[in-house]
Amino acid sequence: MPAPGLRELVDDVLANGLLDDPSWSSYGLAAGVHDDQSTVQAAYTYAPDGTATPAAGAQRSFTLVELREATRDEEGRAWDVMVLQLDRVRGEATLRFVAGAETAEWPLAPTDDATLIELLRLPPVDADPA
């Protein structure tokens, strides 16, 4: 089976009931995979007014483990934090990987939810693109 990619990860996240919930306009997930292949995740949905609500992350943690293994660089280094953002209004999904010193900016500990809420928040959609 090929390694999971953006589509598989988005499908996994959406299977948590997001498709049936009209209240959110964007979604953010930050996840890490430890060397023992356990995972830690933090996810939030954002209403059009900017209100953040804790949300479910990826259902299948093995998808995150497989993604981490498949995206190691030539020297065998892997990302420390994976960030997935869904923009329902624009119909876009972005996936990025954070490693090294930048990882400190992505606290996955429950003691720093406020920081993660802001890091995962997408910029507002410009109501007047002109």
In a domain, 16, yes or no: yes
Number of domains in the chain: 1
Is 49 a member of any domain? Answer: yes
In a domain, 125, yes or no: no
- Whether the Cβ atoms of residue 63 and residue 46 lie closer than 8 Å to each other: no
Domain at 26, CATH number:
3.30.500.20
Domain with 60 in it: 6-120
Q: How many residues does the chain have?
A: 130
Q: What sign does the dihedral 10-13-15-19 (CA atoms) show? A: negative
Residues 58-84 pLDDT 10s: 888 778 888 898 888 899 999 999 999
Residue 128 lies in a domain: no
- The pTM score is 0.86
Question: Please, which pLDDT band fits residue 4 given cuts at 50, 70 and 90?
Answer: low
Residue 100 domain flag: yes
What are the pLDDT digits (tens) for 90-107? 999 888 999 988 888 887
The answer to whether position 1 is within a domain reads: no
Query: Residues 117-130: pLDDT tens digits?
Result: 999 999 876 654 54
93, part of any domain: yes
